[in-house]
Structure 1
Amino acid sequence: MTMSRRQALAGLSLAALPLATLPRSAQAAGYPDRTIRVVVPFAPGGNADLVARILCQRMGERLGQTMVVDNRAGAGGSVGAEVVARAAPDGYTLLIGSNGPLTVNVLLQANLAYDPLTAFRPIGIANRATHVLVVGPARPPLTQPQTMAEFLARAKADPGGMGVGTPGAGSAAHLTLELFNVAAGIQTNHIPYRSGGALVPDLIAGNVPAAMVELSSVLSLHRDGKAKILAVAANTRASQLPDVPTFAEAGVPNFLAASYVGLLAPAGIPADVEARLASAFAAALTDDLLKTRVDESGGVVVTGPDTTPDGFATFLREELGRARRAAELAGLKPE
Structure 2
Amino acid sequence: MTLSRRAALAAPAILLLPRAARAAFPDRPVRILVPFAAGTSSDLQARMIGERMAPLLGQPVVVENRAGAGGAVGADAVAKSPPDGHTLLLGSNGPLTNAPVLQARLTYDPAKDFAAVAMISRSPLTLTVKADSPWRSLADVLAAARAAPGRIAIGSSGQGSATHFLIEQVMATAGVQFTHVPYRGSSASVPDVIAGNIPLVMAEVSTVLPTFRGGQTRILAMTSAARMPIAPEVPTLIEGGLNLTGGSWAGLVAPAGTPAASLAVLAQAVLTGLADPAYRQRQAELGAEIVAAQEQTPEGFAAWLDRERATIRGIAERAGIRPE
TM over 0.5: yes
Q: Map of 1:54-73 to 2, 5 A cutoff?
A: 54-73=48-67
Query: In the alignment, which residue of structure 2 is the partner of 1:256?
Result: 245
Query: In the alignment, which residue of structure 2 is the partner of 1:203?
Result: 193
Using the size of structure 2 for normalisation, the TM-score is 0.90
Select between 290-299 and 78-87 the one with higher mean Cα deviation: 290-299
Deviations 1:30-84 (A, max 9, x none): 1111111111111111111111112111111011111100111111111111111
State whether residues 193 and 201 of structure 2, in contact with CA within 8 Å, keep that contact through their aligned partners in structure 1.
yes
Query: In the alignment, which residue of structure 1 is the partner of 2:218?
Result: 228
Query: In the alignment, which residue of structure 2 is the partner of 1:241?
Result: 231
Cα distance change of structure 1 residues 77 and 306 upon mapping to structure 2, 3 Å threshold? same
What secondary structure does 1:281 align onto? helix
Query: In the alignment, which residue of structure 2 is the partner of 1:8?
Result: none
Cα distance in structure 1, aligned partners of 2:161 and 2:261: 36
State whether residues 190 and 203 of structure 2, in contact with CA within 8 Å, keep that contact through their aligned partners in structure 1.
no
Query: In the alignment, which residue of structure 2 is the partner of 1:19?
Result: none
Cα distance in structure 1, aligned partners of 2:29 and 2:184: 37
| Aligned counterpart in structure 2 of residue 83 of structure 1, from 77, 81, 89 | 77
Deviations 1:198-257 (A, max 9, x none): 2111100111110111111111111111111111111111111101111111121x2011
Matched, 1:286 2:275: yes
State whether residues 316 and 322 of structure 2, in contact with CA within 8 Å, keep that contact through their aligned partners in structure 1.
yes
What secondary structure does 1:261 align onto? strand
Q: Map of 1:95-110 to 2, 5 A cutoff?
A: 95-110=89-104
Cα distance in structure 2, aligned partners of 1:194 and 1:281: 31
Q: Map of 1:3-18 to 2, 5 A cutoff?
A: none
Runs of 4+ in structure 1 over 3 Å off: 26-29
State whether residues 87 and 93 of structure 1, in contact with CA within 8 Å, keep that contact through their aligned partners in structure 2.
yes
Matched, 1:313 2:291: no
Q: CA deviation at 1:128?
A: 0.7
Q: CA deviation at 1:27?
A: 9.2
Query: In the alignment, which residue of structure 2 is the partner of 1:37?
Result: 31
Cα distance in structure 2, aligned partners of 1:77 and 1:123: 18
Deviations 1:100-126 (A, max 9, x none): 111111111111111111111111111
State the AA in 2 paired with 1:38. Answer: I
Cα distance in structure 1, aligned partners of 2:183 and 2:65: 25
Cα distance in structure 2, aligned partners of 1:333 and 1:90: 35
What secondary structure does 2:116 align onto? strand
Q: CA deviation at 1:279?
A: 0.8
Q: CA deviation at 1:292?
A: 2.5
State whether residues 135 and 209 of structure 1, in contact with CA within 8 Å, keep that contact through their aligned partners in structure 2.
yes
Cα distance change of structure 1 residues 131 and 211 upon mapping to structure 2, 3 Å threshold? same
State the AA in 2 paired with 1:292. Answer: Q
Matched, 1:188 2:178: yes
Report the structure number with the largest CA radius of gyration: 1
Cα distance change of structure 1 residues 55 and 183 upon mapping to structure 2, 3 Å threshold? same
State whether residues 28 and 270 of structure 1, in contact with CA within 8 Å, keep that contact through their aligned partners in structure 2.
no
| Aligned counterpart in structure 1 of residue 292 of structure 2, from 289, 295, 303 | 303
Q: CA deviation at 1:144?
A: 3.4
State how many pairs are aligned. Answer: 305
State the AA in 1 paired with 2:301. Answer: F
Cα distance change of structure 1 residues 28 and 81 upon mapping to structure 2, 3 Å threshold? farther
Percent of matched pairs sharing the same residue: 46
Query: In the alignment, which residue of structure 2 is the partner of 1:217?
Result: 207
Query: In the alignment, which residue of structure 1 is the partner of 2:15?
Result: none
Which 5+ residue runs of structure 1 have no aligned equivalent? Answer: 1-25
Cα distance change of structure 1 residues 99 and 215 upon mapping to structure 2, 3 Å threshold? same
What secondary structure does 1:290 align onto? helix
Q: CA deviation at 1:297?
A: 2.0
State the AA in 2 paired with 1:150. Answer: D
State whether residues 175 and 330 of structure 1, in contact with CA within 8 Å, keep that contact through their aligned partners in structure 2.
no
What secondary structure does 1:300 align onto? coil
| Aligned counterpart in structure 2 of residue 164 of structure 1, from 128, 140, 154 | 154
Q: CA deviation at 1:137?
A: 2.5
| Aligned counterpart in structure 1 of residue 122 of structure 2, from 128, 142, 150 | 128
Q: CA deviation at 1:29?
A: 6.4
Using the size of structure 1 for normalisation, the TM-score is 0.87
Q: CA deviation at 1:28?
A: 8.8
State whether residues 120 and 264 of structure 1, in contact with CA within 8 Å, keep that contact through their aligned partners in structure 2.
yes
Q: CA deviation at 1:197?
A: 2.1
State the AA in 2 paired with 1:241. Answer: A
Which 5+ residue runs of structure 2 have no aligned equivalent? Answer: 1-19
State the AA in 1 paired with 2:255. Answer: P
